[in-house]
Amino acid sequence: MPRPLVLNEDRLFPLEPSARALARELYGTVARLPIISPHGHTDPAWFALNKSFGNAAELLLQPDHYLTRMLYSQGVPLEALGVKGAAADPREAWRIFAQHYHLFRGTPSRMWMDWVLSEVFGIAMRLDAETADAAYDRITDALATPECAPRALFERFNIEVLATTESPLDSLEHHAAIRQSGWQGRVITAYRPDPVVDPEFEGFATNLALLAELTGEDCGSWHGYLAAHRQRRAFFKGMGATSTDHGHPTAQTADLSGHEAESLFDRVKGGHASSQDAELFRAQMLTEMARMSVEDGLVMQLHPGSYRNHNADLFARFGRDVGADIPLRTDYVHALKPLLDRFGNAPGFSLILFTLDESTYARELAPLAGHYPCLKLGPAWWFHDSPEGMRRFRRMVTETAGFYNTVGFNDDTRAFLSIPARHDVARRVDCGFLAELVMEHRLEEDEAFELAQDLAYDLAKKAYRL
């Protein structure tokens, strides 16, 4: 028998009544603030072309690796879900998802999806085998209406600014089209150079050739290669970018002499680097990117510590991003030292650190960010972008780094419809955390109201120079 789908207005607030009451009050002051989304993976083509999204499965299920990984872990073949263009009837894929919806109990995916079903599509019954078809139809029908076109949703979601992430090889044509369209939505890019910085990235040598073609620089030479980066960074900045992003397996940095760096580049540029050279080159490039950030003012982001494509068989069959990336233990204290020795005290330089290794919050990241003027901490990331994950972040970071060495919330998602749900979770959890501090008399009430606004809006805007 279908059950009602209810989003309780007190969800995620502390249980103790006085803290809950204050959390509710704090949340009331930030619930409607515009969304600052300074880091994510939505597709700028959506906003450039403003074409309707297809159907429920295509929009909400197939590209969401949080969902497909959990289903796969319980024996559902990715083919049956139509992942990565596998032939599958979308309605049938949606039914499988709905039948397995209980798997998501206690996960953030459940909270985000319930929000989307209820708030975007007005669905009143909990998703399950029985309600699957009705939900599918309601969503798919709604997607065909103008109210659910990408730009309309962007406006309805009250997004003030949304950053996408592009490779230096991207023409940014969609960003250009958005700007030329006259539409007022602020969609900006971010510079993510992994494909031309990581010698182990698929097609690295080809990517260098494309970079050379795109820039007219000689990307067979270290100096030409750096010049190409400078040129693309400037181009990205022109398309609104205020930040770069770096998705390395480790946080390792290096500070080689010009001669050493040149010789290293010569060894890796052909695409046949040893793993040591590849790691060293990525390390050196973080320091080069820092140098360029000091020059051009782009805020640098480092997202290290993911073992990409851990499932070899799935990678061979489906390629990247099917939910088989697994976090790694990550060191920051030694790894960042070369870069920090060079630029750690450089005026205006800003480096936002993320982690998938929570043991570094209190041990390494908060002490580093609580000292170096250039360092700030990004919010709880990826697997930790969840109520418990956010609480651990605040509890382990705040006492050493304070609030003002953090940067507010990132949704970091390609699941466009979940963006408001994710920001809502973060705002609720943060207001709950602040309320508990007040009720424990570790913070005054007026400060909590100021901080609620800072965490929901101001810090992100300031940290990303938006």
For a copy of itself, the binding residues in 53-92 under the rule CB under 8 A are 69-70, 72-75
In this chain, which of 133, 173, 295, 341 binds a copy of itself, going by CB under 8 A?
Answer: 341
386 binds a copy of itself (CB under 8 A): yes
Q: CB of 66: closest distance to a copy of itself in angstroms?
A: 9
405 binds a copy of itself (CB under 8 A): yes
- Distance between CA atoms of residues 228 and 211, nearest Å: 7
In this chain, which of 139, 356, 417, 463 binds a copy of itself, going by CB under 8 A?
Answer: 356
Which residues in the 182-211 window bind a copy of itself by CB under 8 A?
none
Half-sphere exposure of 402 (CA within 13 A, CB side): 10
Q: CB of 409: closest distance to a copy of itself in angstroms?
A: 17
Query: Does residue 10 contact residue 118 with C-beta atoms inside 8 Å?
Result: no
Q: CB of 369: closest distance to a copy of itself in angstroms?
A: 7
Which residues in the 220-259 window bind a copy of itself by CB under 8 A?
none
Query: Does residue 239 contact residue 176 with C-beta atoms inside 8 Å?
Result: yes
In this chain, which of 51, 156, 272, 371 binds a copy of itself, going by CB under 8 A?
Answer: 371
- Look up tokens 């998602």; give the residue: 413
In this chain, which of 145, 158, 275, 345 binds a copy of itself, going by CB under 8 A?
Answer: 345
Q: CB of 329: closest distance to a copy of itself in angstroms?
A: 7
Q: Which pairs count as long-range contacts for 362-368, CB under 8 Å and 24+ apart, including other chains?
A: 362/396, 362/397, 362/399, 362/400, 364/331, 364/332, 364/333, 365/332, 365/397, 365/401, 366/396, 366/397, 366/398, 366/399, 366/400, 366/401, 366/405, 367/400, 367/401, 368/332, 368/333, 368/336
In this chain, which of 51, 272, 320, 395 binds a copy of itself, going by CB under 8 A?
Answer: 395
- Distance between CA atoms of residues 106 and 145, nearest Å: 33
Which residues in the 125-164 window bind a copy of itself by CB under 8 A?
126
437 binds a copy of itself (CB under 8 A): yes
Half-sphere exposure of 180 (CA within 13 A, CB side): 8
Distance of CA 429 to the CA centre of its chain: 18
In this chain, which of 358, 411, 412, 430 binds a copy of itself, going by CB under 8 A?
Answer: 358
Number of residues that bind a copy of itself (CB under 8 A): 94
324 binds a copy of itself (CB under 8 A): yes
- Transcribe 131-143 into DSSP letters: THHHHHHHHHHHH
28 binds a copy of itself (CB under 8 A): no
19 binds a copy of itself (CB under 8 A): yes
- Distance between CA atoms of residues 20 and 40, nearest Å: 31
Mapping DSSP to helix (H, G, I), strand (E, B) and coil, where does residue 125 land? strand
Q: CB of 218: closest distance to a copy of itself in angstroms?
A: 35
364 binds a copy of itself (CB under 8 A): yes
442 binds a copy of itself (CB under 8 A): yes
